[in-house]
Structure formats: C-alpha cells, structure tokens
Structure 1
Amino acid sequence: MDAPINHPLSDETIAEYWPDMDTPEGRVDIRRQFNALMEQVRLTATRGFPRWPEVMAPVVAEKARTLPDRLNGLKAALAGLPEHWRQWQWSADAKQSFGEKYVRVVGDSGYGMGRQYIAAIPAGPKTYFGTVAEYIAAANPDTITMLLSAYESLSSDAVRDVVAERRRQLDAEGMTAAHDDVEYSTGEMAQAASVYASYASSDGKLRAAQRFRDAGRAPATWPWAVSWWKPATARRMLVKAAALIIAEIERLDRKAAK
C-alpha cells in the first residue's frame, strides 16, 4: 500500500462525506483523489488560454475552414431540412416580458399550428432591435437558398478568393475596421494594393519582388514595414491587392458616413 498522502482532509471529514470509504485503504484513496483534484485546480489557474483544448478545438477548426467548405456545409444543412419547414414564414417582433423587451423569433407553419415562438433574444438598444428583427425575418431557408444561388451564379473562383483573403485579413491579421480607420487613414492600403498589382504585372517584376524579399527589403513605394512585404505568385499578389482595395473602399465609406 502507498504511504498516506499528507493532505488536510481529516478522518472525520472522510467519515462524514465518504462513509463507505472510511477504512485505512479507503482514506488513502480519497486523499489521493482529492490531492490530484487540487493539483488540477492549481494548474488550471496558471495555465494559459485556452485552458480547455477539447472545448476550443472545434472553434479553431471552424475558423480554419475555407469559404467554399463553409458554403458546402451550409448547402448540406439546407438539403437536410424537412421539406415542410421551407414553407414556414419566419419573422421577428418585439414584446414586453417582465419589463424587458425581447426579440421573439416566430415560425408560422401554415398547418394550423399558429405562430410558434422558437427563440427569445434580449432586444438591447432601440436601434439594435430593428437590425436584429430585419435580419431574422429574412433568414429563412428559401431566402438563404436564393442568396446561395445568386452568389454561385454571379461569382467565380477569383471573387471567392478575394472575399476569403479579405476575411483572412480580418481574422488572422486583426485588420478590423477600427484598426484601419486609425492606422491607415492616409491611403496606405490603396498604396500597398498598387505595389502588389504592379509587381504582379510581369515575370521580371515577380523576380524583382522576390529579390527584395530575399534581401530583407521592400520596394521604395511599399507603405509598411518590410515584414509585411510578402510577394507570391502573380495571381496571389493580385488577390491580395483586390482585398486591400476593398478594405480601402470600406474605410472611405465609413469616413463619408460620419
């Protein structure tokens, strides 16, 4: 038998809470388990984020999915819906409940079941309610199917890659709207896009772009630090340029709206 663990669990406590374990061997086992639990608590308190990898793993995996993969998943989910659900009319309204206003999502089956409340969300500020209600009212299976069809008919691999690159800039590099408005307020994103596009214009330019990279330098017209100069294939550089142009247009739109 292992030596008893020196832990402040008295025999009286063990007898009270674990009467079936109140034997010399049982007390040793209880103390061992309790000591292991306390060690886990101590480690958890000092462990860096994420503390629960098994919980975060699905989140990380979802963020790593490509846009086409996400679209395929959405189409598969739509295909799995019972057909009669597509006939439901989805809407949202605001109702008072115990003094608080809620956005209530409503589905009307059309089969004599009446209006069925399927979710209730705190409405928040007055202006926020309108945004949420309009979004939910439009988010029915038929609308999503139509949007997907329109996206696929009007889009191309090039457009999808540009959208995915813009999303990557937001998610992986933290180029949020607030960041762009403060840090890139004098046209730096448009300038960077023009440099990428220029060096993607010929094989000679591509070789020159790579020579800059190999030498730890960037073109004189590059607006940012050398570490952000990342030449690649001509197509990839044009995708980056297009995404940066979109970001600059969005910045100008936000500026005009103020």
Structure 2
Amino acid sequence: MKDILERIADSSPTESSHELICRLRDCAHEIEKLRGMPSTQANVDPDGQQNFFGVAPGAPMPDYTNLEGLREKLLAAREIVRDEDGWLTHPDFPICDEDVRADKFLDAFGIESHFVGMDGDADQAFVDRYFEEGESDCTPWTPTPPNGEGWMLLEIYPTEDGPYALFARRAQPVKRLSKRELRDSILSDIRSLSGAHVQVVPQAWQDVTAERQRQVSDEGWTPDHDDRHVNFEMTLSAAYYAIYTAGAALPEPSENFPSKRYVLFQHADALWPWDDMSRKPTGARSNLVKAGALILAEIERIDRAAAPTGDDK
C-alpha cells in the first residue's frame, strides 16, 4: 500500500493520465481491503503502534473520500456563493496532502485546470491596497476565466502570493496534424512572415515543429501546461539535450586524451528540471530536434506572457 502511494507521489511529468488512474484505482482497492481487516492484520505497522494511516490498533478505520464520478461532480453547474471574505470552496473537491499537485490530480480524472492569480488580474489599486494593508477580503476581485468554452470556477483560495482562483473543464482532445497539414501550416506561416513564394520547407524545420506537436498531443505539454512553468524549465530541458549530445560526440577519455565527455554529461544531468526517469536521450539529431521543439515552446510561452491584456490595448 505504501509502495503504491509513493509511486503516485513520484510520478513523472510525462506519465499518462491512464497510468495515474490505474495507480489511484490500485490505491482504492488496497484501502477497501484494509478497511475490512482487523487491526491486528496487515494494517498495523511493525512496531504495533499504529497502522499506515495513523490509526491506533483496535480503532476503526476512518472514512475516505469516494472519488467515483469526481469529474461530473466538480464540473456540474452550481451557484457560485463566496463567503464574506470572497473565498470559494467546492464541496466535492477532496482534501489532498500539501505535496499533491492539484493540476496533476485533476488531470488523472480527465479534467483540465487553469490557475489565475489576483495580482495581475484584479484592479491594480485594489491589489496594492490588499497587500500593503494586509487585507483578508478579496471580494472585489472577480477572477477572469481563461479563453475557451466550458470553464467552471471551482475555488478561490489564499496563497503566499495572494489569492488564486482555480478554473477547470473537461479535458479537451488535442488534434495532431498530419504531415501534409503540418507542412502546409509551416508554409503558410513562412509566406505570411516573409511575403515570399516559398515552396520547400527544410526538413529540420518540419521535424522540430512535428516534435512540438507530438509533445502537445502525446505528452500533454499544452500551452496551459507550459504557462505554469515560469522558471525556464523548457530552456533547461533543451540545454540538457544539447549538452548531452555534445558530450556523446566526444571520445572516451584516455591517458593521452583527457576528454570532457563525462564532464558534459554531469553538467547536462544537473540542468534537467524534471524527474530523472523522464529523460529520453537518443541519437544526436533526434536530441537536437527535441531541444529545438522545447526552445520553440519556451519562446511561445514568453510571447504569451508578454501579450497585452484588454486594459493594455
């Protein structure tokens, strides 16, 4: 049981929703078995002091949240009633440990999430007053939903960086372009930028863009996903692939040739911002295609963050 929970907590950013759902189901089955056992059996720790859930021997097992139908419950239409200080909670949103990421948890149930901070979304005069005077009332702030249809406001909650709102909707299918559609799209973009009659797109450009499409459709690295990683994680990931490739091109060090091969490998490993198991280096060209796609994703994220809002236009 403990092994299952640890594997859920250690799941990588590239793990599929299906795999995480399977782990959650395994966890639920184990809980049901434990709830039916006497406290003298498998739910007691080796020292006999308490079971894995912190319950003393002989004490009844506590009730656990039923996650069946969670997506339908969270996304069902409801009246939005905020409390006197402007906070909002959803009665069906389960209480999770502080190290459980809400976006990954919701993604496991086929729910896309988006977080909006009051700082940058509310009237700036109110934001300044809120932080300077230590206000606890965020009622004047009405969170702006993200673009697209189907978004539901689930919660408004306090953080160290001020109030945040959580929006959610049913996960949207990501269309993966065919090679022909991808080529035509690239040609159209190039023509619109250069005004030239371009007939041939270099294969390298096509491969980088195709890899970016794959990262979105297969890995789930959508623009919303990328916008939540503001510490240049995509740049660090690209640097890993580029430096690893440079190191792999060098010969093994010898007495007559003090190669920097393993020095570069060490530098590359230190840069990787995700779980170690999610690294997927292959051949030199494939690695650089991945690096190029990640740099493209980072540039797109920067451009989205710098785009003027309605108030700036």
Give the alignment's TM-score, normalised by structure 1: 0.38
Larger radius of gyration between Structure 1 and Structure 2: 1
Structure with greater contact order relative to length (CA < 8 Å, sep ≥ 6): 2
User: By percentage of residues, which structure has more helix?
Assistant: 1
